[in-house]
Chain A
Amino acid sequence: MRTPAFLLIWLVIAAAVFAGSLAIGNDYVFFAGYVILQYVVLSTAWNILGGYCGYVNFGTGAFFALGAYSTVAIYKFIGDSELPHVIPIPVLMLVGGAVSGVVGLGMGYLTLRLRGAFFSIATLALAVVLETLVVNWDYVGGSRGAYVIRPEEMPLIGNYIRYLFLMMMLLSVASITIARLIEHSRLGYGFATIRDDELAAEASGVPTLRLKLIATTLSGALMGMAGAPFPYYIGFLQPDSTFGLDYAVNSIAMPLIGGTTSWVGPLIGALLLGTLQQVATVTISSAVNLLLVGVLLVVFVIVAPNGIVGLVRTYWQRKPEEFVGRRRVDADAPGSVP
């Protein structure tokens, strides 16, 4: 399937979901749905570096928070000036994405020469350093946190939360489209070789450092874009909960549970686990959420290493096939060589 067709189909699905949610008539759907969609973006973003390239990033929270704090900085700046008070979310996303993307590039430059485990530990370290810097920056509220006042209504759509939901939905569609585009391109092949054997990849002509930098930048940027609307969603932003490991564990668990080799995995993982967490929060307590994530992560990683996608494939084909070949010769995939 060509990318434009894929994009169109998903936009139609998104429109249908939005319309359906409006029809339900309860705004809680939008509040809960926003979080789930946010995780679709975060998981997909994480998977680009983690699943495709094999580099585990523990710093999801940091990139997410950078996007959020970019928005706070803009909000404060606007508030102090004479400019109109409401900045469209897409603009905020672009700014948040740019900031996180640049940081992602920088992080990659500093850490990608390190082998696997050291890279992951370094991402953890970087996240804490970034958090400390933000906590000590009083302009955005520091450790006291920052208040952001949500506009009441948006024209045509109604409640502002619906607008946020719609924007996050569009970002989700964009994310999975980008992920799929990568998979079917030369870049996707390159990522796979990095995951499988970096030394052999280099020997085959793959510019591994450059590709890894692309992955960290793109991954970081998408995470920042997911974080940009967050201050408007939550109203009161606090550094320790925003930068925290909770985002890391979710963005790692969801692709691992769903399946790391394609765009489908993070989507399924985020939808399932995200919904489960929303249900658990309402019925039991919000602390149980993370226990759920932890347990499912451990169970899946032991029992179903290829995730739900892997299980489905095995069941479907009656043949345990660990990964599918990137493309088959008989498929009609066009123009993959740029």
Chain B
Amino acid sequence: MIFSFDLLINAIVSGILIGGFYAAVTSGVSLAFGILDIVNIAHPAFIILGSYVAYIVNTTFGIDPILTAIVATPLFYVLGAGIYQIYYVSFEKRGQESLRGLAFFFGLLFITEVSLVLYFGVDYRYVNASYIGPTWHVGDVDLPLRMMVPCVVSLLLIAALQLILTRTFIGRAIMAVAQDQLALRLMAIDPIRIKRIAFGISIATASLAGAFLIIIQPVEPSVGREYIGRVFAICVLGGMGSLPGTVIAAMLIGVVESLTSTFYGPSWAPAVSFGFLLLTLAVRPAGLLGR
């Protein structure tokens, strides 16, 4: 284990950059699980789906992946709204969400992943964009653009979401539905419709997160699995539904993973986020910036 300041700085910076991306990945889960209590364990699968959508459009038409993702957002929104409707009618309404609702999403995870395997195979896929190759150098620090761009756009996405949640009517209704459904009903607002919109937004973020992912690294269907624990770890650590908390937690985990990988080897890295999660759940379930 050769320690050098260089290595340390780069590991930290790299961790921060990927942390920004992790925040975007987790934002959907913060919305669905943190705020609405829907344990969508299939979220990473939708992200991978987003990656493949970006991939197809990129290889067929050469269009920038992030652009593709933005255009695909409405489609993912509709998908999310549809899935929530099924989830609500089949499970939430019957009070079955803890066992069967969970199993439902687990099933969706597998259906999505295996369908992608059957259609695309297990080869790694990647996209081409002008910012994927170059790296900026600031002193001894390397800033690969393929990580910088997703990080910056991720943070913009989070900022946009936060604005929606705090400044728009729908956003505030979403926050309200998490706390008091009855009050909403009394105001003649249908909480189910609000939740449907919220879940739609949650899945819509997956479209963008997927594009970011395939910019940062090559993707194949089972890549999603390592994100399952990661997103829930970040969501819980970040305080369950607090978007600023999510960003902080994401960067924290990103940095620790990066340091672990650099100094102890990549085979220990998966345990980092999961270990964090266990620790948080044991010690402070309300997370860092808990509600």
Contacts and interface: CB of A to CB of B under 8 A. Distances in A.
Q: Note whether A and B form a binding pair.
A: yes
A297 B106 contact: yes
Contacts of B102: 56, 117, 120
B278 A125 contact: yes
B131 interface: no
A129 B103 contact: no
Interface string B190-205: 0000000000000000
Contact of A297 (B103, B117, B236, B285): B103
Dominant secondary structure at the B interface: helix
A31 to B, nearest CB: 23
A302 interface: yes
Given A125-B233, A132-B268, A253 B103 contact: yes
A91 interface: no
B228 interface: yes
Given A121-B232, A132-B270, A256-B100, A297 B107 contact: yes
A103 to B, nearest CB: 14
B263 interface: no
B229 A128 contact: yes
Given A110-B278, A118-B281, A120-B102, A294 B117 contact: no
A266 to B, nearest CB: 14
Contacts of B267: 132, 135-136, 143
B94 interface: yes
Dominant secondary structure at the A interface: helix
B86 interface: yes
A290 B277 contact: no
A249 interface: yes
A209 interface: no
Given A124-B228, A125-B229, A132-B267, A298 B111 contact: yes
Contacts of B228: 124
Contacts of B233: 125
Contact of A128 (B39, B41, B117, B271): B271
Contacts of B108: 294, 298
Contacts of B90: 301-302, 305
A2 to B, nearest CB: 31
Interface in A111-140: 111, 114, 116-118, 120-122, 124-126, 128-129, 131-133, 135-136
B33 interface: yes
B115 interface: yes
Interface string B105-134: 011111101110110000000000000000
Contacts of B271: 128-129, 132-133
Contacts, number: 125
A129 B111 contact: no
Contact of A118 (B270, B274, B275, B285): B285
B277 A56 contact: no
A176 interface: no
A260 B118 CA distance: 31
A305 B95 CA distance: 12
A128 B227 CA distance: 11
Q: Which of B107, B278, B281 has the most CB of A within 10 A?
A: B107
A71 B160 CA distance: 53
A291 B112 CA distance: 8
A329 B184 CA distance: 46
B268 A54 contact: no
A40 B253 CA distance: 39
A283 to B, nearest CB: 15
A249 B270 contact: no
Interface in A87-122: 110-111, 114, 116-118, 120-122
A252 interface: yes
B98 interface: yes
Contact of A291 (B39, B103, B104, B110): B110
A156 interface: no
Contact of A293 (B110, B281, B285): B110
B188 interface: no
B42 to A, nearest CB: 10
A291 B98 contact: no
B118 to A, nearest CB: 6
A245 interface: yes
Interface string A45-58: 00000100010101
Contacts of A50: 99
A260 B107 CA distance: 17
B87 to A, nearest CB: 9
Contacts of A305: 90, 94, 96, 100
B2 interface: no
Contacts of A131: 270
Contacts of A248: 106
A291 B111 contact: yes
A136 B236 CA distance: 27
A205 to B, nearest CB: 24
A261 to B, nearest CB: 11
B99 A124 contact: no
Given A249-B107, A290-B113, 8 more contacts: A118-B236, A121-B236, A125-B275, A249-B110, A253-B103, A287-B117, A287-B118, A294-B107
25 contacts: A50-B99, A54-B98, A56-B99, A58-B106, A117-B33, A118-B281, A120-B39, A121-B41, A121-B281, A128-B271, A129-B275, A132-B270, A136-B268, A245-B110, A245-B225, A291-B110, A293-B107, A293-B110, A294-B111, A294-B114, A297-B110, A298-B107, A301-B107, A302-B104, A305-B94
